[in-house]
Structure 1
Amino acid sequence: MKNNCSSLSLKQIRDLLKVGQISPLTLVSEMYDEIDKFSNLNNFIALSKDMAFEQAEKSWKRIKDGNARKLEGIPIGVKDLYAVKNLKMTACSKALENFVAPFESQVTENLWNEGAICLGKLNMDEFAMGSSNRTSCFGASINPWSNGDKLVPGGSSGGSASAVASGTCFAALGSDTGGSVRQPASFCGIVGFKPSYGRCSRRGMIAYASSFDQAGIFARSVEDAAIMMDSMMSHDSGDSMSSMEKIPNLENANISVKGKVIGYPANWMDDLDSHVVNNWKKALKILEDLGAIIKPIDLLEFDAYLSTYYLLTSSEAASNLARYTGVCYGNKTDKKINPEYNKTFALFGEEVRRRIFMGVHNLSQENYENGYSLGLKTRKYIKNQFMDLFNDVSMIVYPCSPREAFGVDSVFQNPSDAYHEDVFTVIANLIGSPAISVPIGLGKNNLPLGIHLMTKSFEEEFLISAAKEIEKYAEFKGWLDYDKK
């Protein structure tokens, strides 16, 4: 177990910083020592030391002057999908290996304005396409829970999850298109929180599937995640889908689960590993003991949600990635234009090319009605189904992932096997609901399992309140108790 500042929670370190018991400069220096110590995990792909120490110096002055902001002096990591001005922004793709962000994303600007400090950019699946962090051009990030065989940290925000779980930053930005915050959090034994679609601005985030993409956060506790999200959420006129809903105070969320009806899809239990089911029942028992009414519900089979998700996201990806032609973005080293061969497209990894081809197929004239158009109709049906369901239940609870973390060298028989890693998480993105993964226990290989909580849109306060209760009574110590060194 660690004995330095990196073993503390974000709230604990915030309290120490506020009263001057530790300086941001000392803290940043210590965090870089931790990053160096855990360099074998391949989490940070670029460090921003000059920026971090400059931010730390300004934070220390504000603290001494009594002008500390909400996140003053707290070091965090940023998924390499966000624009941080004057830092490289590659989406872990060779297609953008030399791109430097000329402006700041809205989410990171919000965090810097509250005093957070940027340690550097974090590893991810290329263009956020993947569930294991193995499609990155920088190589796979490694799960800190690895013991012998190297394990994946999940994806696409695997580097962010692994960094928080290893104690090399107090929180980390991720993005969530179909579970890319929640599934890695489950694999790494930490908290992963995706708010309602529109709560956080997408401006300055590299687009994968625009009607699904949402900023998310990794943290060591539900409270830490709430503290970070309070500073991330804002209305942004620069994002056409930015919500005008009142911004909640999540850090102080305290809505009782007593008397609330909690639904769980009983028809999903049959084919799951017994450890996954037992931890699921453990979460339901916690809520029931706190006075919640537990109610079985029926949902469609997994594949109905999964196929709709991949049909639509691949279509949006094909459209979004069409900008990487080498004219404005992409590889410009070849001055000769070959009309039959796009040099930038050749730099995309296999998974990115596969999803582009899928999307082009679904958007083609001959396939449109039974492709993209059908996907839109199915998504509307699914959303209506859940809106009706949320009239009867306040929250839906089920596992975050059907299994524990698997080996980096594991081979899927075909791409659809890999896509099934997202079976439990894609629903929240299809309907725009907030969702969170909270560590609930260990699986058959003594690796973390997360429980997945989801409410209807813009009910984050109840979601966070319930997640705090699950966390409290699950008593999962996670990264503090597990010897990752």
Structure 2
Amino acid sequence: MDNYAFCSIIELAAHLELKNISAEALTRIFLSRIDKHNQLLNAYINVFPEQALEQARESDVRRKKGMSLGWLDGIPMGIKDLCEIEGSITTGGSKEWINRISTETAEVIEKLRAHGVVILGKTHTVEWAFGGWGTNALLGTPRNPWDRWQHRIPGGSSSGSAVAVAAGLAAAAIGTDTGGSVRIPAALNSVTGLKTTVGRIATQGVLPLSHSLDSVGVFTRCADDAAIVFDAMMNAPAQSRLQENYRIHGLEGADLGGKVICVLPDEQYETQVQRSVRLGVRDMVRMAEMAGAKLVRKALPFSMETAMNNCGRLIAAEGWRVHKEHIADPEKQIDPNVRQRVLAGQNIDDRNYAELLAQHAAMKTIWQEWMDGVDALLIPATPFTALPLNQVDENSTSIGFFTRFVNWTGACALSIQAGFDPQNLPVGAQLVGKANHEYTLLQIASVIQRMTAWHAYHPMVG
């Protein structure tokens, strides 16, 4: 029965529709796996078994009456512990908020509930979502499930969500992305991770870090699943199928004929990239070309390192303005690495903050102009695979080298599975697109994933 835990949403929806399994039985499988493996993996901070089973039973009743809400009805998902759910604890990854009860429900959660999603629980996050390594010094760091013998980083900040999907503790999970917080853990855990354009998915009821950069995203097994959840986070339930969704957006087709994908020569990466990562990205480029895409090579109109640093400064500036009351109090129990990052924002005065916002706005225009005639940029998601936890240098920002510029330019992006290194640790490739062009990236990834099998592998847990 555990095989259901590693099925795609599309496969699970078919099993539910054919009555091979009930939503309640499916939910019990995931709850059982959480009970068995979460003590080691630490993916969830809170689990809602009674509520989840009740939601699953309601889904089964709808299906018996012929009133299924669509693809996601009865599908068990995890929710990053930044999203408010009225009456439940939302910590934001902070020990100071370990008993904080939400008084509202995030709009994105309401949307998912309207589609019949079964909410399994809240997944761990870096405190206040400020960190790419996935560490949480006070509430515990989730364990990357691809190494059974050594605690390796899960990536962050949406650490628990990525681990939950990779390890078969959820069929999908919600995350957020401000500087790479969906794409980094997606790459390190071998799942598909969609970072949406800011404003595309409502952030009402999602604890903020940087209102200029915060976006809601999703972790799934494949791009087609990500498209289903992405659509549900924006829209009310409908009877349309995924193929119709692609057709609406002019993206129907089994190949990439007519698509233009930009690639960068290795020397333009501006940072050292692990050989396995470079080879994985090259394989994805080759798959795209075999599928009919036209490849172009041109230099970026900016330095990724400068964009990364500017993005970090804007996160710190806005993070300080959100959390300064907590950070300024030395008696409060705050992750020391997060405290240090947020404190950097107090040195950015209103004038410099305004300049950062102006530069951010200008970069959005520069990116859209540079992407004219290009459907996606294909680059690494991370420079290297998952490090052992005891080797992490929190003062290094290299883990987000390939992700932060995406937030700085206002783009959308998708991390997809691109193989494994010699230690059997996952490699991720990143498709970066124009603002609001998520479906283009999803369709490109969908075609590539039909030609590869990396997204079908899962770790041996336990």
Q: TM-score, normalised by structure 1?
A: 0.87
Q: Secondary structure, in 3 states, of the residue corresponding to 1:409?
A: helix
Per the TM alignment, residue 385 of structure 1 is displaced from its structure 2 partner at its CA by 2.2
CA contact (8 A) 1:18 1:72 kept: no
Aligned residue for 1:342?
329
Structure 1 residue aligned with 2:241: none
How far did residue 10 of structure 1 move?
1.4
Helix, strand or coil for the counterpart of 2:454? coil
- Specify the SS of the correspondent of 1:286: helix
Mark the runs of 5 or more structure 1 residues left unpaired by the alignment: 236-247, 326-340
User: Residues 107-135 of structure 1: CA distance to partner in whole angstroms, max 9, x if unpaired?
Assistant: 01101111001111101100001112212
Helix, strand or coil: the match of 2:78?
strand
> Counterparts of 1:94-173 in structure 2 under 5 Å?
94-135=95-136, 137-173=138-174
Q: Which residue of 1 aligns with 2:348?
A: 362
Matched AA of 1:425: T
Q: Does 1:452 align with 2:430?
A: yes
How many pairs align?
Answer: 447
Structure 1 residue aligned with 2:320? 318
Match of 1:395 in 2: 376
The amino acid that maps onto 1:55 is Q
Within 1, Cα distance between the matches of 2:339 and 2:68? 47
Alpha-carbon deviation of 1:234? 4.6
Could you tell which deviates more after superposition, 346-355 or 173-182?
346-355
Is residue 441–residue 474 contact of structure 1 (8 Å, CA) maintained in 2? no
SS at match of 1:347: coil
1:384 aligns with 2:365: yes
Check the 8 A contact 1:92/1:136 in 2, yes or no.
no
Quote the residue 1:434 is aligned against: 412
Find out whether 1:56 has 2:66 as its counterpart: no
- Give the Å deviation of 1:254: 2.6
Q: Determine helix, strand or coil for the equivalent of 2:344.
A: helix
1:477–1:222 distance in 2 versus 1, CA, 3 Å: closer
Distance 2:149 2:177 in 1: 30
Distance in 1 of aligned mates of 2:418 and 2:451: 9
Provide the C-alpha distance between the structure 2 equivalents of 1:150 and 1:31, rounded to a whole number of angstroms. 23
**Per-residue deviation, 1:43:** 0.7
Q: Which amino acid aligns with 1:448?
A: P
Q: 1:324 to 1:113 in 2, by over 3 A?
A: farther
Counterpart in 2 of 1:302?
Answer: 304
Letter in 1 for 2:317: S
Indicate the residue corresponding to 2:259 in structure 1: 260
Identity of matched residues, %? 29
Cα pair distance change 1:195/1:93, threshold 3 Å = same
1:124–1:136 contact (8 Å) kept in structure 2? no
- Structure 2 SS opposite 1:120: strand
Q: For the residues of structure 2 that align with 1:346 and 1:77, how far apart are their CA atoms?
A: 29
Q: Where do residues 204-353 of structure 1 align in structure 2 (5 Å cutoff)?
A: 204-234=205-235, 249=245, 254=252, 256-266=255-265, 267-269=267-269, 271-299=272-300, 300-322=302-324, 342=329, 346-353=332-339
State the 1:442 CA deviation: 1.3
Question: Aligned AA for 2:334?
Answer: F
| Matched residue SS, 1:144 | coil
- 1:30 is aligned to 29
Contact 1:123–1:133 (8 Å) recurs in 2: no
Residues 1:7 and 2:6 aligned together: yes
CA distance in 1 between counterparts of 2:52 and 2:148 reads 32
Gaps of 5+ in 2: 237-243
Task: Supply the RMSD in Å over aligned alpha carbons.
Answer: 2.1
Q: Does structure 1 retain, via aligned residues, the 8 Å contact 2:81–2:125?
A: yes
CA-to-aligned-CA distance 1:400-419 (integer Å, 9 cap, x gap) = 0000011111141x61x1x2
Quote the residue 2:240 is aligned against. Answer: none
> How far apart in 1 are the matches of 2:91 and 2:4?
31
1:354 maps to amino acid: Q
Q: Match for 1:220: what amino acid?
A: R
Aligned letter for 2:28? S
Residue-by-residue CA offset, 1:290-338 (whole Å, 9 max, x unaligned)? 222211121233311111101111000011124659xxxxxxxxxxxxx
CA contact (8 A) 1:440 1:470 kept: no
The 10-residue stretch of structure 1 (390-399 or 207-216) with the greater mean CA deviation from structure 2: 390-399
> Is the CA contact (8 Å cut-off) linking 1:264 and 1:294 kept in structure 2?
yes
| d(CA) in 2 for partners of 1:284, 1:478 | 19
Please report the TM-score for the alignment, with normalisation by the length of structure 2: 0.91
Alignment deviations for residues 158-185 of structure 1 (CA, whole Å, 9 cap, x no partner): 1100000000110001011111111101
* Paired letter, 1:308: N
**2:444 is the counterpart of 1:466:** yes
Spell out the pairing of 1:195-210 with structure 2 (5 A cutoff): 195-210=196-211
Which amino acid in 2 is paired with 1:42? N
Q: In the TM superposition, what is the alpha-carbon distance from 1:269 to its structure 2 partner?
A: 4.4
Alpha-carbon displacement from aligned partner over 1:340-369 (angstroms, at most 9, x marks no partner): x737x6222212321221111112xxxx54
CA distance in 1, matches of 2:430, 2:246: 18
1:407 corresponding residue in structure 2: 388
d(CA) in 2 for partners of 1:97, 1:75: 24
Please tell me the residue identity of whatever aligns with 1:303.
E
2:102 maps to a residue whose letter is A
Q: CA contact under 8 A between 2:413 and 2:433: conserved in structure 1?
A: yes
| Amino acid corresponding to residue 483 of structure 1 in structure 2 | M
Q: Distance in 2 between matches of 1:409 and 1:322?
A: 29
Aligned CA distance change for structure 1 residues 30 and 3 (closer, same or farther; 3 Å): closer
